[in-house]
Chain A
């Protein structure tokens, strides 16, 4: 036993010696993240830039597997908090804010003028009037379409401004006649169905209604909610028949092969479409059509965030890094490397990428508001119940009354009136 301890001590001592040789006199900021290879490389480049400007600080990034991170964060925030941790905006961060595990950084927002430069994200980063993290990237949702499928069915290819709702449904009828799925999705993981629902909901009744619905403030049996399902029902016959059995990647294959014309998806799917052989020539992007005339256009743009933890050992330097990541220059660079959109309004987007440019234009002109996506806007349990209902409706529209009754029962249980 004594020997073992002695050995362990020696080992620790050697490790300490070897690291302190590099990190001597540097103040360490620890950062836990869940990056895939490309974002990880981008983040490491950011760290190098930051350390070049702040030679006395050493940012140490610990990368986690994406899925494992969702559980790991719940442990490390209490047991061994890093200074910084990646997470998501809106309701997704609420449990950590309420348990007091994320630190309030409203002072940083005030001193760096972030309320202005990150204006589009203020709402999603605010709980109880305080800001709890830094948004550094988001991506747009919308309709991706396959020009070849449009040509094959003899339907006029839409322009970047999109088409009207009636035109879209008429197109769907033409696609159906040609044996092509008008709208495809793969809802076996539930969330892709929520993308379609969110858009129909925001286009039918507007952002505020949708936001209230996600917050449990609106009844599922209200005329407004029924109107949403009525419009969704118009789209339902044209959605890929077996969507509940397949993943979103399987649906992407259908879309790439031209067996489906439109795909309501987030911009991250572009990489998959292009791997499948699509190019900027036959892949198009348009905003979801207007349904109720005069409703201000709202868009979905889920935001990724970095948070200062309450247990941070070096909060001052961590805040310096947060301020850096909130800045226009860093966000331009990171998002260019990853192919997403910066949240800082003074950043710029690679004009050569038509999808990023279109997304940037679509989000910056979305006067209705920016939603985070159903499963980030709604509380977790409520979100899941909702997504099951959306998936079911897109398979069994005749079960509408039962779906609405179930959702309403869930709402009344979670949000007692």
Chain B
């Protein structure tokens, strides 16, 4: 401020075309970002301090009551919340399987054989179809009585298992369904990455006698780092926002054992037996905080990479 007071001419010149133009170009995006991202986040955080059933009274007034951190302290002792948190962790860990599997399928498909385009598109197919369809198909796979997975288990062990009704297995059954499209997604990322692997380096490594695992680990993988980075991001986010599959396949059952945070939030805030908006908002805030840990990590890394250039 002091500088501006001393040299008023320079202050006026700071708002010239060059400084103003970026903001003008950013304005529509910023406006959308504030209205559809920042403002709802602020609203959710505010709402999480209230007990509110989602209704306004006939005069249109808000009917909630302020409860401070009440929703959060209830979360601490809520067994359903604990289950959801653990399930989210299972999702996160098991979803990482998509990375190695996707990589190996990509390497397998990265060859020139007749009809390879067809094979590639067939492998990519599960990512193209809707998650709802994936969920339904897998629910039929597991269905007692006629599902192929059920019949296979029955044929092998003599006793069929209804996976989606088994409290210990149901979550893994849902995760398996989620992995199917996720692997396809990771595969495509790696396929494009493999196109950019420098052939001269492969050639040089081959001359030095590298092959098999060592070639993959020391020569190919380092060149795939950008693809791996993106694949990790989309997989982490995919695991944390898992909702559609849980909703379609189990609706959180048996007795809430397959809930994840996003589904529990939906149940509490918008489900048929929910309409506790404040409590749902508190769950959303916790989920947001968990995501922020990962997102800030990614942003920090990207910012560092940008600066190195």
Contacts and interface: CB of A to CB of B under 8 A. Distances in A.
Contacts of B272: 70, 380
A125 B254 CA distance: 33
Interface in B52-81: 53-58, 60, 63, 74, 79
Interface in B21-71: 53-58, 60, 63
A395 B56 CA distance: 40
Given A244-B165, A380-B275, A311 B254 contact: no
Interface string B69-104: 000001000010000000000000000000000000
Contacts of A345: none
A16 B242 CA distance: 47
Contact of B254 (A81, A375, A380, A395): A395
A406 interface: yes
Contacts of B63: 99
Contacts of A359: none
Interface in A332-386: 375, 380-381, 383-384
Contacts of A96: 55
B155 interface: no
DSSP class of B's interface residues: helix, strand, loop or mixed?
Answer: loop
B58 A101 contact: yes
Q: How large is the interface on A (under 10, 10 to 19, 20 to 34, 35 or more residues)?
A: 35 or more
B37 to A, nearest CB: 23
A388 interface: yes
B286 interface: no
Interface string A59-70: 000000000001
B253 A190 contact: yes
B185 interface: no
B292 to A, nearest CB: 29
Chain B, interface size: which category? 20 to 34
B143 A375 contact: no
Contacts of B142: 245
B273 A383 contact: yes
Contact of B251 (A78, A189, A243, A380): A189
Contacts, number: 84
Given A242-B144, A242-B162, A381-B274, A99 B253 contact: no
Interface string A239-258: 00111111000000000000
A392 B254 contact: yes
Given A70-B272, A242-B162, A99 B251 contact: no
Interface string B232-270: 000000000000000000110111100000000001001
A11 to B, nearest CB: 28
A389 interface: yes
Interface in B135-154: 142-145
A5 interface: no
Contacts of A100: 57-58
A389 B253 CA distance: 11
Contacts of B134: none
Contact of B144 (A95, A246, A389): A246
B165 A395 contact: yes
Nearest to A383: B273
Interface string A118-156: 000000000000000000000000000000000000000
A241 B163 CA distance: 13
A259 B262 CA distance: 38
Contacts of B256: 388
Nearest to A403: B255
A95 B275 contact: yes
A244 B253 contact: yes
Contact of B58 (A311, A391, A395): A311
A18 interface: no
A30 interface: no
B164 interface: yes
A336 B189 CA distance: 61
Interface in A252-294: none
B58 A245 contact: no
Given A245-B162, A392-B254, 13 more contacts: A78-B57, A95-B275, A99-B57, A101-B58, A188-B165, A190-B253, A242-B145, A242-B162, A245-B143, A245-B163, A245-B165, A380-B273, A381-B276
13 contacts: A70-B272, A74-B275, A78-B56, A81-B58, A99-B57, A188-B164, A243-B165, A245-B143, A245-B144, A246-B144, A380-B273, A384-B273, A392-B255
